[in-house]
Structure 1
Amino acid sequence: MKLRFLVVSLLALCLVLAGCSGSGDSSKDSKSSNDSHQTSSHKDKKDDKDKKDKNDENALQIAAAASLTDASKDLEKEFKKDHKDANITFNYGGSGALRQQIEKGAPTDVIMSANTKDVDMLKDKDKAHDTYNYAKNKLVLIGDKDGNYSSVKDLKKGDKLAVGEAKSVPAGKYAEKYLKANNLYDQVKPNLVYAKDVRQVLNYVKKGNAQLGYVYKTDLAQDQKNSDSNVKEINEAKLDKPITYEAGATSDKKLAKEWMDFLKSDKAKEILKKYEFEA
């Protein structure tokens, strides 16, 4: 009897010990699995952060005057020959509007303005540096190629003269200065219709929404190259100062400085000259 009791007790003890051992192994396995999962998750987060940092490093956001729409594409291609990983994004518009966006905190690495005023204003507020005058342009009066206008003096009642908004579009400001300097502004004021940039002025004239318009010589030249243009140059608006384009870095990103250095290169100047800019 005692022997049977002893055997049963020993069997029960063995079962208890086996259960405890199994529980311990399971706990170890679970802890090991959790540790492995946490390590993998941490590595994934680190990889994602490294990838984001790399993408940010290669991103270049450029605010560019609308008159650079065509030339900028060739500038980008040339720049990427030595910066293959660069991801360049252009934001086109009137120079004044672009400056205001930067002042309000819009993420931008470089501004390429169609004047010097807006870049200088950013520089005065420590929002631009490494500035450079990279091109010059001319202002011209355009009209329908079959039209018989030879001057804004020929505008009749109901005719439209398209110009850029003087507050935000340098070409509009240049046009206003020219008209006032030549005592023409009051005469044509009833005919004025305003546009957000020079490309819109060009489109107004092309579509017949305006009989005449003031645009940059480069915009007209590109339109005549790209299509069977129905627009012609009537005359050049002679200004007291040349139209100078200025650029500046608006971030401390390495790629921004490299773009500014690139604008000073012979290759960049060749491209700008191809699009009728003086560089």
Structure 2
Amino acid sequence: MLLGAFGIVVCIFLIAPMLIMVPLSFTQGNQMIWPPVGFSTQWYEAVLTSSAWRGRLMNSLEIGIGSAALATILGLLAALALVRGRFPGKRVISALLMAPLIVPTVVIAIGMFFVWTFGWQIGPVTLGGDLVGSVLGLILAHAVLNLPYSVIMITSALVTVDRNLERAAAIMGAAPMAVFWRVTLPQIHVGILFGFVFAFLGSWDEYIISSFLVSAKVTTVPVYLFAEVKYSVQPTSAAVSTILLAITSIILGLMLVRGRRQLLGEGTQR
């Protein structure tokens, strides 16, 4: 009873900001004042017709999709190595891959800022440099930050794969790539999809690292939104926040439906 009441209080605490922000986005007033005055969609129209907001939105989509794709590819390769490979130092590598979830984000952001600005020279090879304020630099940074999500999701899917099916395909003469493409991939595609979605959402909402790496020409929605809130009290910020919330909720809802259908399909087959 007490635990249930505590859970309800926590949920209310988490939902309360949304219950304030969403109504404010429909106000007729020119300032974010509670309670909102009247009902109007003018602030959504202002956001959607603003070239500045559209540019930031396209930047966030480009960076989010690019970094999620890169994180998913690297996460798939890392998951295959961790689950199927046998090599010394596997636990150390696994811990390093999970480091972005443990190390404070601001520490990672500062390190990335210096490497992305000046580069990191390892012998004759120089990594990074001149990447601050570029879409490529933000894609690489967000991919590093969100790589653990892809690794976790794909690893969880890989450990449930029936290896007997892979052995049977290999015995029948299928090449290793054919076995992976025709046998393994169909069994882990949901994990790959979830890894991509969580990496995208992590990039979509990322502020700290982005604030170190953006420029006047390349800025993401969260960074621009924070600057807007600091220097303006117009409800456009509430409208943008509601749009971000709606997009995130829709994506997560679709993923939950997809995961539920997958579970029901597996239960029916059994």
The structure with more helix, counted as a fraction of residues: 2
Name which one, 1 or 2, has greater alpha-carbon Rg.
1
The structure with more strand, counted as a fraction of residues: 1
Q: Structure 2 length normalisation: TM-score?
A: 0.26
Q: Which has the higher contact order (CA 8 A, sep 6+)?
A: 2
